[in-house]
């Protein structure tokens, strides 16, 4: 009988230890994981690396970034982006990192900002009169082809900018273009997207909001503020073999060169580069990004 009592006592102590261990692990898990909008856990592989790289300490901003990542994955545009610039944290350092690969290296497409007119705040980055940034992203070598690609930005300002300005993109001699302008004098101060051998434009909206140019195997489409502004069948022959710039367009491969008439002079709250975004995913992507920008 005594042996049975001792065994029961040992069993009770073991169960108590196990229960305590489980409680401890659950408590630790709660400390580590940031809740997202549905009460789930954060994408620690993406969010954790970005937080370490940027040094962001604002817990509210961490939750907003986690929600963005969660929604991007759920709505299937996360894997269609090679580069995502959320411009979070209000400094030149925090706003230079690529959310998809937040290493401080050229090959991870972290930004280098040029000229002294840049300013940074909670909403994003502001180039001033002649600010621009180099992404180190070469669409000719980093994307699968000229008929599976996109560029997008969220513009913060309703400014006309320079005569042939770009919020994002590049150009190679011979008419090989790949750039987007939320407000371009080329088309009477309307949104404009330039491709290898075609261009698309929009009307009836100012330069503030989310803009996306995207190309699939047969058709190019240009969206502004989540509305399809223009779409047309055409085939690209090539993408520029040079780095994409922000707030201007790079016009030289061997020596990346800013275009003198290309300064956008518009702030950016978000930017992406990647594969084609289809008509089903576009409104979800637009809503996810717009909600994130509004929350900043």
| pLDDT tier at 212, thresholds 50, 70, 90 | very high
Q: Please tell me the distance from the alpha carbon of residue 209 to that of residue 204, in angstroms, as a whole number.
A: 13
Q: Kindly report, residue by residue over 92-150, the tens digit of the pLDDT.
A: 999 999 999 999 999 999 999 999 999 999 999 999 999 999 999 999 999 999 999 99
C-alpha separations of 163 from 10, 184, 231, 245, 251 in Å: 82, 7, 24, 17, 15
Q: What is the domain class of 44-295 according to CATH?
A: mainly beta
Q: How is the chain split into domains, by residue range?
A: 44-295
> What is the number of alpha carbons within 13 Å of residue 191 lying toward its C-beta?
31
Q: Residue 259: what pLDDT? A: 78
- CA atoms of 19 and 232, how far apart (whole Å): 63
Distance from the Cα of residue 173 to its chain's centroid: 27
Tell me the whole-structure pTM to 2 decimals. 0.85
| Structure confidence at residue 106 (pLDDT) | 97
pLDDT of residue 226 exceeding 80: yes
Predicted local confidence at residue 100, as pLDDT: 97
Q: Is the pLDDT of residue 5 over 70?
A: no
């Amino acid at each position: 009988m005594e042996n049975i009592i001792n065994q029961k006592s040992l069993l009770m102590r073991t169960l108590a230890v196990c229960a305590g261990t489980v409680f401890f692990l659950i408590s630790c898990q709660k400390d580590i994981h940031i809740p997202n909008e549905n009460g789930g856990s954060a994408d620690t592989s993406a969010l954790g690396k970005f937080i370490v790289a940027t040094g962001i300490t604002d817990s509210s901003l961490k939750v907003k970034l986690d929600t963005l990542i969660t929604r991007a994955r759920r709505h299937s545009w996360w894997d269609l982006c090679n580069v995502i610039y959320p411009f979070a944290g209000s400094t030149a350092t925090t706003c230079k990192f690529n959310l998809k690969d937040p290493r401080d290296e050229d090959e991870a497409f972290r930004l280098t900002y040029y000229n002294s007119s840049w300013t940074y705040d909670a909403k994003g980055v502001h180039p001033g009169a002649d600010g621009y940034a180099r992404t180190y992203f070469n669409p000719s070598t980093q994307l699968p082809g000229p008929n599976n690609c996109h560029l997008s930005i969220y513009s913060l300002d309703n400014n006309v900018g320079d005569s042939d300005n770009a919020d994002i993109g590049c150009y190679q001699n011979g008419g090989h273009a790949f750039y987007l302008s939320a407000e371009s004098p080329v088309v009477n101060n309307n949104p404009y997207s330039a491709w290898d051998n075609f261009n698309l434009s929009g009307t009836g909206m100012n330069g503030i909001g989310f803009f996306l140019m995207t190309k699939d195997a047969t058709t190019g489409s240009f969206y502004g503020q989540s509305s399809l502004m223009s779409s047309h069948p055409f085939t690209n022959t090539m993408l520029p073999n040079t780095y994409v710039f922000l707030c201007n367009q790079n016009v030289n491969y061997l020596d990346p060169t800013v275009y003198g008439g290309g300064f956008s002079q518009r702030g950016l709250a978000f930017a992406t580069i990647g594969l084609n975004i289809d008509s089903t995913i576009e409104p979800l992507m637009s809503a996810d990004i717009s909600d994130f920008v509004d929350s900043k």
